[in-house]
Amino acid sequence: GISGGYNKQRFTFDSAMSQRSAHYMQNMRIKQWHIFREDVRDLFTLTTAHLITYMTMGSLMLSWDARLTVFKGMNDMKDQPVWFFLFWSNCCLGAILFGFLGVWLVVHGALKSQAAAVQVLTQSVRPPIPSSQEIIAVGHDLAEYESLGAKKFFEVPNLFGWRDNGMHKTAVEKSERHGLVNSHGILEATRAMTIVEEVEMGTSFKPPNHETQTRAATVLDDARTGRPGQSAIFDKHIPIFHTMQRTFASYDAYARISVDVSVTFWLMAVGYYFISFTLAYEDLAPSVFEQIVAAIFSW
């Protein structure tokens, strides 16, 4: 009759709302993991950008060292004393060697960084795509309504709040716990209770949407698992990056040091070259500015 049709429509409405809520939460979980993957890409991109900068500086230093040594220094230094030529050549050789070393470290560091980024994104930080069990858990059929019994068919509307919606309170409590545990709202405890355990905890005053809300609450609380890719590493993508960073951080540090040393040797070589130039043309009476520049480079 009218009561049966009303309760059937109410069951259909509650089932659709719980299913929509569960699917919305699944989509939010996937989007949240996409944000984690963007974080990982940003962190690895930062390292790669540093290495590219070192590569540029190392390449420039090699070109400047080669030009200073081959095209300029060899011709202008041949008339200088042997000890002065040795000092200058040692500086040029050191600049070239450390420049090569810096470029070599940068190349290997960039390859290590890219390999680590691909490894983390393909093996660890994976979106928790809903499993078949999760999708089935939010599905509904008419047999569920029929199995509720004749008492549920003729149940009157809850106009005055006589019946206590226990599952609603359970869902609210779980949502509050999600927000209080950590910044991302995911529990560190065990997985949610099964549907059967939730049903056994209920009372006889639950409305017909008890099973549907139980399923939705279970899916909402089960946010740490999913396929493919274990989501048990939720909120661990930053520690994973720090762990993988150890495989290429040394290349980054030593490449920076090598470039700095190469620049230092190059400046010393330029200083020696400037001094030799002023000595070779001392009859031109170098200006005060030239003497100051020579003193700065030699220092």
Residues 127-180 pLDDT 10s: 777 777 777 777 777 666 666 666 665 666 665 555 555 444 544 454 444 444
Report for 15-24, 86-95, 121-130, 200-209: range of highest mean pLDDT: 86-95
| Surface-to-core class of residue 220, CB atoms within 10 Å of its CB (0-12 exposed, 13-18 middle, 19+ buried) | buried
For the chain, give the percent of residues with pLDDT over 90: 4
**pLDDT for 236 beyond 60:** yes
Q: Are 216 and 138 in contact (CB under 8 A)?
A: yes
**pLDDT for 204 beyond 60:** no
Q: What is the CA radius of gyration of the chain?
A: 36
Q: What is the mean pLDDT of residues 183-212?
A: 37
The pLDDT, as a whole number, for residue 104 is 92
At residue 121 the predicted structure's pLDDT band, cuts being 50, 70 and 90, is: confident
Tell me the two tokens of residue 189: 């405890």
The pLDDT, as a whole number, for residue 189 is 33
Domain segments of the chain: what residues? Answer: 2-80+98-154+163-251
Q: Over the chain, what is the mean pLDDT?
A: 68
Q: What is the mean pLDDT of residues 18-33?
A: 79
Threshold 0.75, pTM exceeds:
no
Tell me the two tokens of residue 172: 């609210």
